[in-house]
């Protein structure tokens, strides 16, 4: 990600999009398991909150801990790259788990229709 701000916007947008689809199915599709959809929505909200919270971590080592400012900048950059890679991976895993739970809640006819639409 380019910055914390961009990352947070991405997380908000993706989470809102996923929740929008889940809520739409919750109210408009007959025969869905509403408890599973509720749990999936909670899981998405938790993933969004955790990702945004974890992105507020700061680099805790000062310039004096390194031999030069160049080494400090390099260490700080590596720290944030690995941090955001980890946060992104955890966020994606949580969203995927929520989507699996959501898909389990859908009736078979809806799943079959969705496959037909996706394949055409």
Q: What is the pLDDT of residues 32-84, one digit of tens each?
A: 999 999 999 999 999 999 999 999 988 888 888 888 999 999 999 999 999 99
pTM (two decimals): 0.85
Query: Residue 73 CB: number of other CB atoms within 10 A?
Result: 12
- Percent of the chain whose predicted confidence (pLDDT) is above 70: 98
Mean predicted lDDT score pLDDT of the chain: 92
């Amino acid at each position: 990600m380019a910055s914390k701000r961009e990352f947070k916007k991405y997380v908000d947008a993706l989470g809102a999009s996923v929740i929008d689809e889940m809520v739409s199915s919750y109210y408009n599709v007959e025969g869905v398991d509403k408890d599973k959809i509720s749990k999936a929505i909670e899981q998405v909200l938790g993933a969004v909150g955790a990702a945004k919270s974890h992105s507020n971590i700061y680099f805790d080592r000062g310039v004096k801990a390194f031999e030069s400012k160049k080494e400090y900048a390099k260490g700080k950059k590596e720290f944030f790259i690995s941090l955001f890679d980890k946060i992104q991976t955890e966020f994606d895993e949580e969203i995927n788990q929520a989507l699996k739970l959501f898909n389990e809640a859908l009736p078979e006819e809806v799943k079959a229709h969705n496959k037909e639409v996706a394949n055409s």
